[in-house]
Structure 1
Amino acid sequence: MAGLSSGAYTESALRARRILLIGGQQTGKSSGGNTILGKQVFPEEVTSDSGACRGEVFGWIVTVVDTPGLGWGEDGELDADQPQESADPWSLSSGVLLCSPGPHVILLVVSVSQPLTENRMKRLETHLEGLGRGVWRHTIVLFTGVDALDEGGCLESHIIEGGKPLQHLVEKCGNRYYGLDNTRPRERTQVQELMLKVEEVVEQNHGWFLEVDSNYGTRNNLMWNDAVEAERGVMESWHFQEMPMYIPPPRELRMILLGWKGVGKSLAGNTMLGFQGFDVGKQTEVSLRRQSQVSGRRVTVVDTPGWGWWSVKQTSMRVKQETQRAVELLHPGPHALLLVLPVVSSLTSRKRYVLENHMEKIFGTQWSQYTLVLFTCGDLLRGLGYSIEEHIQRGGKELVKLLETCGNEYHVLDSKSPEGHKQVPELLNKVEEIIAHNITEPYLYLEVNEESGGRTESPGCATCNLQ
């Protein structure tokens, strides 16, 4: 089968988005479509034929196409008495046709209550790759049934605990995923967040939709080709008149906040994200992941429990494990480790040793090339009239040694002032400098050795997802 090509959206449809729902049987595709559109349009029963509906969703004109569930074949474990959804490839083909001239995004629907076995994962792969090469860059994994997760559970933990097939599927989609609670259809914030992720995919594909080649869906080639040619004709006539400026896709920056207890990691994370994503004023017990769009970047930050002050032994095994889990939450790995130090904290030789020992025990010998020292309480410096460079000199030789170990990568953040958020773009620029310095290994990748229970280090991948 011929490969995929792509088409650009037209000027008159800059805000039009076509979304194709694909998934296994009984995964909640129809309910997801209803939640996205904010109305009951798809029957929430066994889907036997593809259907489409259009509506306005947060300023986008969205066409959602629901398709019958894909059969699991010999791996199927559904009740034999349940009505079975059609696994006929033609049913999927007709759904793709309803997205003509092509879907902007495919939502690959996976229920958290259905384990994804190796056979099921391969079945999903086969159906998706039947659309042609390049389909994965247009695909987001949409988890449904997230209300069934244990209290305090998160999708990241579910993906980790879901095993290699689920992790592999998420990786194939460029680690793009979202959880939708269809039991709360009136909670529109979740739909708004999902649409922002859809828009990220469109931007990452430079505004191009997925154009399926003429060998797909042979029963409707004529209709399909007519639709593609009609949109291409409009696009080409407009292309030479008013082609929009190229908008580069957002870079993804993945960071971990680290340090002693009470140094202001959570507050610094909120300043970076631009919203109250982490609880401030109480001790952080587990690693938490939050994400936001900041200065044209997709910023993902993980807050971690604080370490002991006087020795590595003072830090419990649970805290060490949570800190290492922070790396798993940023799969395939963090671009930067932000070592948080308040400017009011003095650094003795013992404290420096403990900090460096924590970093090496948890992250390995390469920790320093990914580490930036993040000074908090920057408002105190301003009140004293000191620059950060003067503070470093006043801090003594131990602080200077720590910064030299980290390649003199540092930044100061004022988390208590409304002006603090203006210091974040410069911090993100410095993180990108760290990525540039580590060009062959742009992120820190840690692999757990299951046999020994220990950690082995592996070089970062030069083709990591830096959208």
Structure 2
Amino acid sequence: MAALSSASESGEHGVVRHPPERRLLLLGGPRAGKTSTANTILGDEVFEPGTETTHSNVGQTEIYGKRVTVVDTPPWTIPSGGGEPENDRNNTDENDNNAAADDPPQQQPPPPQSLDSEGPCMGAILCPPGPHALLLVVSVSQPFTEVQKRAAEDQLAALGGGTWRYSMVLFTGVDTLPTGTFIEEHISNMGEALQWLVERCGSRYHAFDNASKETGGEDSTQVPELMEKVEELITDNQGWYFEVNELILLEEEQARKALEEERLRMEEHVRQREQMIGGPPRELRVLLLGWKGVGKSSVGNSMLGSRAFEAGQETELCLRRQALVSGRRVTIVDTPGWDWFSVRRTPKRVRHETQRGAALLRPGPHMLLLVLPVVSSLTARKRRTLQAHLEALFGERSCLHTMVLFSCGDWLGHTPIEEHIQRGGRELHRLLAYCGNYYHVMDSKVPGGKDGSGGSGGIRQVSELLDKIEEMIRENVENGDEAFLPVQDEWLAEESSQSSDNTEPEDDCRGCQLQ
């Protein structure tokens, strides 16, 4: 529930503050045009357009003697899946918006925001004591679907009850409409989801052309007309503004503090590691290996923190990608999948391509990551086939540089990986012993992706994996073994005859401290 407060803005002893203020909170999905809209209202390039907003920003100007505060916010998250909301949410009678807002129905609180995302509450905090209008920015160049509708519901639900009576739809990109098409016709043609949104906002809407160079000029009428509609909205609400419930603000602040503590912890971890090893960031060279369809490409994406590899389809040729991760330069090569039955059934082309992948990591890979999904059962034949592939392609000492990487770790739920290993049986134990009992588990998701998956938990998983790789390297060196698996001449011969345009130019690894 949200508290409703008077917008008369009186100070002590009833003295009105001057100049009067109007506070606008912009909400909307990706590429809706919120930042350009904010600049249009402010009459200047206050915010940087063309880049995705990651944190709420505030700008102020004066329009017709009123101080106008505009808050630009990050895009709201689009829910996965295209299922329609429940019928009781679709068919709510909204003929009397004010009455519905004054006595909002009891509802369960919305699910908490992930720690690496910023919800709409922070935007409301930045225009105290609360916004007079919530402008829901919708681009006319994008379809407004049921999924978009659900996202709008979730966004306003995160602010608490009573939000819709302060909401107005602000259409952007009206210059892209066919000549002679009015915004009312667009609303009529776009279907029930958009019509629902407009009706939910009490049929309040406005249209902007942010592309026009005249938008900020003296002859422009779209900003003054918007402010007139805002004044009508304030009048309809009896001069009240929207104020976020203190409990919601407290939860938002706690989430932000948790995120800040996690960020500081990671920075301290990197700082301590740099003090320990000294010098510039080191390089770790990793080769991803395993059967077909075990999630090697997804693991590579998770490690690099981006969609560097094309997950979801069979890898035909080795692909080399690189990024700076947790203070290290990480170079990863994704390889084609093996046959699970025997080495002989793995095509010769795939075997040569796998060796060529190792050659792309000159002077040699520090780690062979053997990817094994947690949902796979390991039989004696599968275990022997994995070991046979490693020894046939990279030699008997390849086990000294091999770690088992359990993918799809999210399938474990709250089950520890150690418990999963205990249940895995004798063959899994023998495979881990073959690899020196070095293993790690990872959710095969991309941190920072648009899908919002991964986050601080994914970063922690990757950082812990890189720590384990360095620990394994140090152990090899202390035992008199090499820090990496040296590239063999026969691998280079195959590389010259089967080079691929999909590989990137190689960096000079001679300065790598782990050599």
Larger Rg: 2
Whether TM-score is above 0.5 comes out as no
TM-score band w.r.t. shorter chain: 0.3 to 0.5
Give me the TM-score of the superposition, normalised by structure 1: 0.44
Q: Which has the higher strand share?
A: 1
Give me the TM-score of the superposition, normalised by structure 2: 0.40
